[in-house]
Amino acid sequence: MAVTPRGTSPVPPDARPRLTVLSGPSGVGKSTVVAHMRKEHPEVWLSVSATTRKPRPGEQHGVHYFFVTDDEMDKLIANGELLEWAEFAGNRYGTPRAAVLDRLEAGEPVLLEIDLQGARQVRESMPEAQLVFLAPPSWEELVRRLTGRGTEPPEVIERRLRAAKVELAAEPEFDTTLVNTSVEDVARELLALMDVV
């Protein structure tokens, strides 16, 4: 399977990249923005990751994540079935490779919502991808959102906030930064970056 590198593609060189990576600290609002965007544009395809994390209330297998055991994750990694994977705050997460490559081959826009380590791996393996960083309006607001979501115990929130400091420092590595003040505005900006509207 070949994803045509930019420059040799038959599409004009200024065409938007098909693969978009959305990253940002836990609690910044990535899932909220993506859900809002897909409510109005269900044609935007979002990769469903595999994770060893336990489901939160309401999360469905195959919809929000493929919830896998440690052994299953070991196998996915060993068999080269993941485009990228990373350990984040005590759990492993990875992007199933085949589904993403199929969509790209069909010329469809593809969105990955993954952490910083994953974004770096995608940048290495698919330099044509555009990397978008979702930033909080302030550190205090990030803490408020992560705590207010109420899905993690305090020690997990602490761990995620430690990771958030590292992620915020890496913002300059990204092609574009969107500040999540308004979900509607960010969703619109993201759609424009993906050339969907």
Q: Which stretch binds ligand 5GP (CB under 6 A): 36-44, 80-88, 172-180, 189-197?
A: 80-88
118 is an annotated ligand-binding site residue? no
CB nearer ligand ADP, residue 122 or residue 142: 142
CB nearer ligand 5GP, residue 8 or residue 69: 69
Q: Does 53 bind ligand 5GP (CB under 6 A)?
A: yes
Q: Does 95 bind ligand 5GP (CB under 6 A)?
A: yes
Q: Which residues touch 74 (CB under 8 Å, ≥6 apart)?
A: none
Q: Which stretch binds ligand 5GP (CB under 6 A): 69-77, 92-100, 102-110, 177-185?
A: 92-100
The span from the CA of 7 to the CA of 19, in Å, is 15
Residue 32 touches which of ligand 5GP, ligand ADP, none (Cβ within 5-8 Å per kind): ligand ADP
28 is an annotated ligand-binding site residue? yes
Q: Does 34 bind ligand 5GP (CB under 6 A)?
A: no
24 is an annotated ligand-binding site residue? yes
Annotation: binding site for ATP: 24-31
Q: Which residues bind to ligand 5GP, rule: CB under 6 A?
A: 26, 30, 49, 53, 84-86, 88, 93-95, 113-115, 117-118
